[in-house]
Amino acid sequence: MAVRGVGIRDVAELAGVSVTTVSHVLNDTEGMRVAPETRARVREAAKTLGYGPNRMAQALRTNRSGLIGLLSEEIATTPHAGRIILGAQNAARAHDLTLVIINTERESSGTSHKDDVQALIDRQVEAVLYATMYHRQVSLPPNLQGIPAVLIDSTDRAGIVPAVVPDEVGGAVAAVTHLVEAGHRRIGFLNNDDDVPATHERLIGFRQVMQQHGLPIDESLIVQAPSETLPGYALAREVLDRPDRPTALFCYNDRMAMGAYRAAAELGLDIPHDLSIVGFDNQELIAANLFPGLTTVALPHYEMGVWAVETLVHLLSGEAEYKLLADRPTRLDCPLVIRGSVAPPRDN
């Protein structure tokens, strides 16, 4: 309700008290006893004047800018960044913190965003969130030392900073379990071929479910290529052209799944009845617009944004136990989003 030009002294005057009292009342200052009647009068006065504190003066005085920085890679190219921002933003607002976002290029080996961190520091942020575009390990810029920080979607090579990442294994488990429970036993896995955590962990999840259900794993059904549509298509063709083709495909991501859809169409395979498909990432634009809608696994971007800010707040208030979080990254659930690409296999 801040009306420009109204200061704490105006409120004090109208309420007939000192500025100290106003400050105490409006901030509910700990241990400051103010008569209830005075309180009311001050509140009343503030309201009628439309008083709102001058954050700059507050900031200067308390040495707390109320700003937290979010360093985000590739904000433009992916909707994922948007959901992280949204989560962080909402959580920040709930704590009366203001989120300042700096976009940055993908880290080109070694540079490590030092300048971007500096830009944030120069703007007096109290802490920084460091979000990468996809789950991986990073080395933190040296100037991030000494400032509370939290990593989103990546882990600190040095293991000093708390981090939050998606539970990749869990997501894969959910996806493959869904397939198995629909009755599938021969399931292909179109995996990424990058050496990133997601590649390995989603595979672990895949194997885990198969073993758990006593299903044989045909290694030739686990294939790898870059995680794009075209390679996904090629991989799908490779696997589906076989006489003993799988009845279901688990795809590393939605783009590869999109390639698989094309392969299925070319082969005259009906999704989901001739072939079930599950993706990963829940990219709305793809998943919701394919025919039929793609059942896929959602990455907890929003939740990671929230978690990161909450953790930062704890860190800022010096709660010791939160430092321990750096020990190992926190893993957040990757829930399955069911659309229409999974059905029981035809002959079972």
Partner DNA sequence: TTGAAAGCGCTAACAT
Partner DNA sequence: ATGTTAGCGCTTTCAA
Q: Under the rule (CB under 7 A), what is the footprint of DNA?
A: 7-9, 16-21, 23-24, 26-27, 29, 32-35, 37-38, 53-54, 57-58, 60-63
Q: Who's near 158: CB < 8 A, 6+ residues apart?
A: 139, 140
Evaluate whether 55 touches 274 at the Cβ level (below 8 Å): no
Q: Which one of DNA, a second copy, none is in contact with 35 (Cβ closer than 5 to 8 A by kind)?
A: DNA
CB of 148 to DNA, least distance (A): 19
Pick from 143, 76, 149, 152: which is nearest to 112 by CA? 143
Q: Which helix (H) or strand (E) holds 201?
A: helix 197-212
- Residue closer to a second copy (CB basis): 54 or 137: 54
Can you tell me the distance from the alpha carbon of 4 to that of 15, in angstroms, rounded to the nearest whole number? Answer: 19
- Residue closer to a second copy (CB basis): 48 or 77: 77
Considering the rule CB under 8 A, would residue 93 count as an interface residue with a second copy? yes
Which of 57, 94, 158, 338 forms a contact with a second copy (CB under 8 A)?
Answer: 57
Q: Which stretch binds a second copy (CB under 8 A): 18-26, 94-102, 131-139, 175-183?
A: 94-102
Q: Which residue has the tokens 């890679």?
A: 73
- DSSP tag of 226: -
Q: What angle do CA 75, 324, 70 make, to 5 degrees?
A: 15
Take residue 214 and report the two structure tokens written for it: 């006593």
Q: Which stretch binds a second copy (CB under 8 A): 14-22, 49-57, 183-191, 308-316?
A: 49-57
Amino acid letter, residue 230: L
Evaluate whether 291 touches 127 at the Cβ level (below 8 Å): no
Q: Which residue has the tokens 């394919």?
A: 290
Take residue 283 and report the two structure tokens written for it: 């990219």
Binding flags for a second copy, 165-204, as an x/- string (CB under 8 A)? ----------------------------------------
Which of 24, 83, 178, 314 forms a contact with a second copy (CB under 8 A)?
Answer: 83
**Helix 19-27 × helix 8-15 angle, to 10°:** 100
CB of 145 to DNA, least distance (A): 21
Considering the rule CB under 8 A, would residue 75 count as an interface residue with a second copy? yes
CB of 307 to DNA, least distance (A): 28
Residues in the chain: 348
Can you tell me the distance from the alpha carbon of 304 to that of 131, in angstroms, rounded to the nearest whole number? Answer: 10
Evaluate whether 171 touches 334 at the Cβ level (below 8 Å): yes
Q: Which stretch binds a second copy (CB under 8 A): 13-21, 92-100, 175-183, 234-242?
A: 92-100
- Sheet with 276-278, strands from edge to edge, namely 222-225, 187-192, 248-251, 276-278
Q: Which one of DNA, a second copy, none is in contact with 110 (Cβ closer than 5 to 8 A by kind)?
A: none
Binding flags for a second copy, 110-149, as an x/- string (CB under 8 A)? --------xx-xxxx---------------------x---
The binding site for a second copy (CB under 8 A) comprises: 1-2, 4, 52, 54-57, 59-60, 63, 65, 75-79, 81-83, 85-86, 89-90, 93, 98-103, 118-119, 121-124, 146, 228-230, 233, 255, 258, 262, 265, 283-286, 289, 291, 302
